[in-house]
């Protein structure tokens, strides 16, 4: 499983629209659902900084995510442009691969 964590600083007054766009039924998820290797998105609000949100995007692999971006660049940029006014900043915090075949230590 490939995991990507994004951080967003949302402009005051834009919280509801941001939550709709980036939440589980929002435009981003609708775009990602075009790909069978997309596994879901979680939207979390930072309780200590209410204007900060995180998305956690789950893909089968980094290659699957890269292939999706290559195949859907224009649509991705359209959705990105549609919502760029909602935030002061966004940044990809980290990404990593979880080896689902490895069991945790006992």
Could you state, in order of their start, the residue ranges of all structural domains in the chain? 2-97
Q: How confident is the model at residue 106 (pLDDT cuts 50, 70, 90)?
A: low
Averaged pLDDT, 64-87: 96
Q: What percent of the chain has pLDDT over 70?
A: 94
CATH 3.30.70.100 is the classification of domain 2-97: yes
Q: What share of the chain is helix, strand, coil (3-state, %, to 5)?
A: 35, 35, 30
* Model confidence, pTM: 0.88
Residues 6+ apart with CB under 8 A from 31: 72, 75, 76, 79
pLDDT at 11 over 90: yes
pLDDT at 20 over 80: yes
Residues 6+ apart with CB under 8 A from 64: 2, 35, 37, 38
């Amino acid at each position: 499983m490939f995991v990507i964590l994004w951080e967003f600083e949302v402009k005051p007054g834009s919280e509801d629209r941001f939550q709709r766009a980036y939440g589980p039924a929002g435009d981003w998820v609708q775009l990602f659902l075009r790909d069978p290797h997309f596994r879901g998105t979680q939207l979390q609000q930072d309780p200590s900084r209410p204007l900060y949100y995180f998305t956690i995007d789950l893909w089968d692999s980094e290659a699957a995510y890269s292939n999706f971006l290559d195949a859907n660049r224009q649509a991705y940029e359209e959705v990105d442009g549609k919502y760029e006014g909602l935030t002061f900043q966004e940044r990809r915090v980290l990404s990593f691969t979880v080896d689902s075949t490895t069991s945790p230590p006992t």
